[in-house]
Amino acid sequence: MLTNIQLVEKFYTAFQKLDAEAMNSCYSDDIVFFDPVFGLLRQYEVKCMWEMLCKHAKDFSLTFDNITELDNEYATCDWVATYTFSKTGRRVVNRIKANMRFADGKIIEHSDAFSLHKWSKQALGLSGTLFGWNSFFQNKIKNGAKRNLLKYMQGKDI
């Protein structure tokens, strides 16, 4: 069985290779995920999100460091994803703080923290700069992401 730090390393090394299957193998079947774009996702939704993101990634690179085991149950990691946002063709450099909880050699909770306003400035340009701080605008981003995920999931044989 991998240590928690080895599990985090395996997850992000797989992400660097856009290997969603290897990433998802680090998760328990009951995984709970949260980030500012997709909101709260559970189980199969989480695994499909990573599949979708890996499948559609453009000009993607990822670095990770500062993996810190807080105790036997929790760890954090800093990671940076650089990619072209497909909807606008704009370059995004997203700096993220991951928080993970572990049980039985798997990640059972994963939350990613980043500024949705900073992300929207990069991904959406002027509209993101002007309105990215606004909760209505942020909800529009979130709803679009959830819609894309549901469409992706509907296209799979579930």
Tell me the per-residue pLDDT of 112-144, one tens digit each, with 9 for 90 and over: 999 999 999 999 988 888 887 888 888 888 999
Q: In terms of pLDDT, which residue wins out, 129 or 65?
A: 65
What pLDDT band is residue 157 in, cutting at 50, 70 and 90?
low
What pLDDT band is residue 83 in, cutting at 50, 70 and 90?
very high
User: What's residue 90's pLDDT?
Assistant: 94
- Is the Cβ–Cβ distance between 112 and 8 less than 8 Å? no
Q: In terms of pLDDT, which residue wins out, 37 or 126?
A: 37
CB atoms within 10 A of CB 83: 19
Average pLDDT value over all residues in the chain: 93
Q: Is the per-residue pLDDT at 4 higher than 60?
A: yes
Helix (H, G, I), strand (E, B) or coil at 5: helix
What sections of 4-100 are H helices per DSSP? 4-16, 20-24, 44-56
Pairing of strands 27-35, 74-85: unpaired
Cα 96 from Cα 81, distance rounded (Å): 8
CA angle 92, 121, 83 (to 5 degrees): 10
Q: Is the per-residue pLDDT at 156 higher than 80?
A: no
Cα 150 from Cα 144, distance rounded (Å): 10
User: What's residue 86's pLDDT?
Assistant: 87
Q: Is the per-residue pLDDT at 158 higher than 60?
A: no
Q: Is the per-residue pLDDT at 145 higher than 90?
A: yes
